[in-house]
Amino acid sequence: MSTFTPPKRISLKNHPVYSENWVQDIIAADPAILGLGDLVLRDRERIQTRAGRLDLLLQDRDSYKRYEVELQLGPTDEAHIIRTIEYWDIERKRYPQYEHCAVLVAEDITSRFLNVVSLFNGSLPIIAVQMQAFEVGDHITLVFTKVLDEMQRGLVDEDEDAISAPTDRSYWEEKAAKKTIALMDRMFEVVREGDPNCELKYNKFYIGLLKDGRANNYVAFRPKKSFVVFEPKLPRSDEVDAMLDTAGVETLEYSTRWANYRIRVIDKDFKEHEDLFRHLINEARNQREG
């Protein structure tokens, strides 16, 4: 029978052995330990012009999303919050082709500073993670708990109809191709099976759904010359990933910012896996209505 060993909480801030560099080593070896997804290390101690060094730069393995991570032993303070936001801002301006998120990791995220960080969350994507160190017998372990997640943002025209850029079908027929518009139409017929009153809403950058005079974009389409980018608004899950992988349907990325899959669909995909797309559409609609 196994012997129970109670964990003992310890502070790393003034520990004689375990330092911030040690924590960096742990995270760099396995970035998934932070609980932010399947991440890979892109850089550490990354030099920021006239602004110090970014502790860790991580990237989602399957998308163009990067996380600028600032570590702090002990309780949070003003300097680390400012530094976290500053490094995020530098990186997003330097590499605008990526989606960026600021991450503050600290041993003690006090209620005062959690409130301060929460104020920024409406205007910039920021995550706060509390790190706890425990001794268990002769071993030490780290536990990371997300105490503030980034705010999910809706599609542009859900609440901002006045600033969206409406177009018409002819715009997309010229921009894409007749065969991909026809493919989108067939996919839309599946949408209407469960939602007969919705219509296509043609915008400049995507084609969404309109119901009762309002945008209701639980799915969206972006027809290209040779394929359609299909975007069901769903939480990322191993089940959906496995279904797409088994079908051999290409997932371009999962957008955490918009909470949707971006799936590359050609005519052959839809003919062979129509039931899969029907399932994704119905699940996205159920998520919206639920």
Largest CA distance in the chain: 72
Which of 180 and 65 is assigned the larger pLDDT?
180
Give the span between the Cα atoms of 213 and 104, in whole angstroms. Answer: 41
pLDDT at 209 over 80: yes
Q: Are strands 228-232 and 214-215 parallel, antiparallel or unpaired?
A: unpaired
Q: What is the mean pLDDT of residues 205-214?
A: 91
pLDDT band at 152 (very low <50, low <70, confident <90, very high): low
Task: Give me the phi and psi of 168, to 5 degrees please.
Answer: -140, 180
pLDDT at 102 over 60: yes
pLDDT on residue 155? 44
Q: Are 125 and 150 in contact (CB under 8 A)?
A: yes
Which of 1 and 5 is assigned the larger pLDDT?
5
pLDDT on residue 176? 93
Give the span between the Cα atoms of 75 and 116, in whole angstroms. Answer: 14
Q: Any idea of the CA torsion for 29, 99, 69, 150, to the nearest 10 degrees?
A: -110
pLDDT on residue 111? 80
Nearest alpha-carbon partner for 85 in 101, 97, 71, 96: 101
pLDDT at 157 over 90: no
pLDDT at 62 over 60: yes
Long-range CB pairs of 170-179, under 8 A, 24+ apart, other chains included: 171/202, 171/204, 172/202, 172/207, 172/223, 175/223, 176/223, 176/224, 176/225, 177/223, 177/224, 177/225, 177/226, 179/267
Task: Give me the phi and psi of 224, to 5 degrees please.
Answer: -115, -170
Nearest alpha-carbon partner for 151 in 66, 262, 258: 258
Nearest alpha-carbon partner for 233 in 217, 222, 247: 217
Residues 121-134 have pLDDT tens digits of 667 888 999 999 99
pLDDT at 112 over 60: yes
pLDDT on residue 153? 53
Q: What is the mean pLDDT of residues 52-58?
A: 93
Tokens of 218: 């639980």
Q: What percent of the chain has pLDDT over 90?
A: 58
- Say which range, 38-47, 56-65, 98-107, has the weakest mean pLDDT: 56-65
Give the span between the Cα atoms of 134 and 142, in whole angstroms. Answer: 6
Which of 165 and 160 is assigned the larger pLDDT?
165
Which of 275 and 237 is assigned the larger pLDDT?
275
pLDDT band at 247 (very low <50, low <70, confident <90, very high): very high
Task: Give me the phi and psi of 114, to 5 degrees please.
Answer: -65, -40
pLDDT at 207 over 90: yes
Domains of the chain by range and CATH? 8-148 (3.40.1350.10), 156-289 (3.90.1150.200)
Q: What is the mean pLDDT of residues 258-275?
A: 94
pLDDT at 145 over 80: yes
Tokens of 234: 């769903």
Give the span between the Cα atoms of 275 and 271, in whole angstroms. Answer: 9
Beta strand residue intervals within 61-186, DSSP E: 65-75, 99-108, 126-136, 139-148
Q: Are 71 and 20 in contact (CB under 8 A)?
A: yes
pLDDT on residue 106? 92
